[in-house]
Amino acid sequence: MNQVDYLRISLIDRCNFRCQYCMPEGAELDYILKQQLLTDTELLTLIQEVFIPVGFTRFRLTGGEPLLRPHVVDLVKAIASLRETQDLSMTTNGFLLASMAQNLYDAGLRRINISLDSLDPDIFDQIIGNRGRSRWQDVWKGIQQAYHVGFNPLKLNVVIIPGVNDHEVLDLAALSIDKQWHVRFIEFMPIGNSQLFGDRGWISSAELRQQIRERWGLTESQVCGNGPADVFQIPGASGTLGFISQMSECFCDRCNRMRLSADGWLRPCLLNESEQIDLKTALRAGVSTAKLREQVKHLLAIKPEINFKGRDSGTTGIYSRTMSQIGG
Ligand code: SAM
Ligand code: SF4
């Protein structure tokens, strides 16, 4: 059985973007009330007294948009400085990154994933649901600054949506050629209230790879990370191309992670809600961390049976919780 030692921690469910495939504008989202969010102290208690003792050593901070979390730099510092932390990374939309990259790096963050679905500011704004001043430039600056500061690996997450940005596959892949940027294509999932998926469908990693292979050729490669990406490289490129194929391939057998939501629910599978633990309520009710460790150990033991195969998407085929709510 795969060792489960990687925890994705959602710091906040809110976001400053409204990506069409995640939190489309107009979607009714039940935001977590401020008092229901895990506090910094609660989160650190859970990490130190529950997760690390049962074997978690690798952490990713995500959301919603993690850079919106108050004191995020202090949190990074506190988690990075734990002796047992072997790896700490973050997934961000990059909008606030330009001014925060150096502080995050100084606090101990070394790996970062930045979402970038388009190189065309108009299409980008369309995807992120922006009607005001374009935000593409800010994100681009955030990426450049993260690179300049020394984040390594620096990964760019791309979701390709048919009819929206599928003509940009080669341009986005080309970002991996000159700089040591690792572009990761994530298959579009029917998660969130996304009509978009129903209307447009999705493009498999195999099809994307084929397009890229026809243009440049591809060789198998590797990059440091905890994920299920299949990694390739354009011959001679500085960076790599990763393909995350959760729609076309089942990689439950390789799954090494659990997710902690911003309000303290621990879930063993992205799409299967059958077993979850409400750690925050337990902690606030005075349940000992020793008892919580036992509960988490139980979840770890039954995790192999809780997987995508048992997922519940109801009759619509669209999952009701969004990535921003689960902690993508
Ligand atoms: N706000 C941050 C960001 O966008 O990078 C972190 C959270 S976001 C939920 C994490 C990742 O989930 C992003 O790379 C985003 O593209 C991806 N994501 C969200 N909804 C998705 C969907 N329906 N299908 C595939 N990926 C999705
Ligand atoms: Fe926000 Fe990230 Fe979801 Fe886009 S994908 S709406 S940036 S949480």
Q: Is the predicted pLDDT of residue 122 greater than 90, yes or no?
A: yes
CA-wise closest residue to 11 among 83, 86, 104, 98: 104
Q: What is the mean pLDDT of residues 88-100?
A: 98
Q: Give residue 50 CA to ligand 1 midpoint distance, Å.
A: 27
Q: Does 316 have pLDDT greater than 60?
A: no
Pocket flag, ligand 2, residue 327 (CB < 6 Å): no
Distance from the alpha carbon of residue 323 to the mean position of ligand 1, in angstroms: 6
Q: Are 228 and 254 in contact (CB under 8 A)?
A: yes
User: Stretch 5-16: mean pLDDT, rounded?
Assistant: 97
Q: Can you give the pLDDT at residue 194?
A: 61
Vertex 183: Cα angle to 247 and 242 (nearest 5): 45
Is 185 close to ligand 2, i.e. is its CB under 6 Å away?
Answer: no
Instruction: Tell me what pLDDT residue 8 has.
Output: 97
The tokens for 288 are 């000992």
The CATH number fitting domain 6-326, selected from 3.40.50.300, 3.40.50.2000, 3.40.50.1100, 3.20.20.70: 3.20.20.70
pLDDT, mean of residues 29-55? 96
113 lines ligand 2 (CB under 6 A): no
The closest of 39, 34, 158 to 94, measured between CA atoms, is 158
Ligand 1: residue of 14, 16, 19 to mutate (most ligand atoms within 8 A of CB) is 19
In a mutational test of the pocket of ligand 1, which residue from 91, 117, 324, 325 has the highest number of ligand atoms less than 8 Å from its CB? 91
Angle (nearest 5°) at CA 237 between 232 and 241 = 30
Q: What is the pLDDT of residue 315?
A: 45
Please tell me the distance from the alpha carbon of residue 280 to that of residue 265, in angstroms, as a whole number.
7
> Can you tell me the distance from the alpha carbon of 230 to that of 221, in angstroms, rounded to the nearest whole number?
8
Tell me what the pLDDT averaged over the chain comes to.
Answer: 91
Closest ligand relative to 65 C-alpha: 1
User: For residue 244, what are its two tokens?
Assistant: 């995350």
Confidence category of residue 326, pLDDT binned at 50, 70, 90: low
- The pLDDT confidence band at residue 24, using thresholds 50, 70 and 90, is confident
Output the pLDDT for position 137: 98
Q: Are 202 and 187 in contact (CB under 8 A)?
A: yes
Percent of the chain, pLDDT > 90? 74
Cα(219) to centroid of ligand 2, in Å?
A: 31
Q: How far is the CA of 189 from the centre of ligand 1 (A)?
A: 10
The finding on whether 98 has its CB within 6 A of some atom of ligand 1 is: no
CB-ligand 2 contact for 59 (6 Å cutoff): no
88 C-beta closer than 6 A to ligand 1 = no
For residue 199, what pLDDT is reported? 74
Which residue among 12, 14, 18, 19 is best mutated to probe the pocket of ligand 2, counting the most ligand atoms within 8 A of its Cβ?
A: 19
pLDDT at 227 > cutoff 90: no
Over range 95-118, report the average pLDDT: 98
Most confidently modeled range among 20-24, 233-237, 247-251, 317-321? 233-237
Q: Whose CA is nearest to atom 15 of ligand 1?
A: 115
Identify which of 271, 263, 277 has the alpha carbon closest to the alpha carbon of residue 63.
263
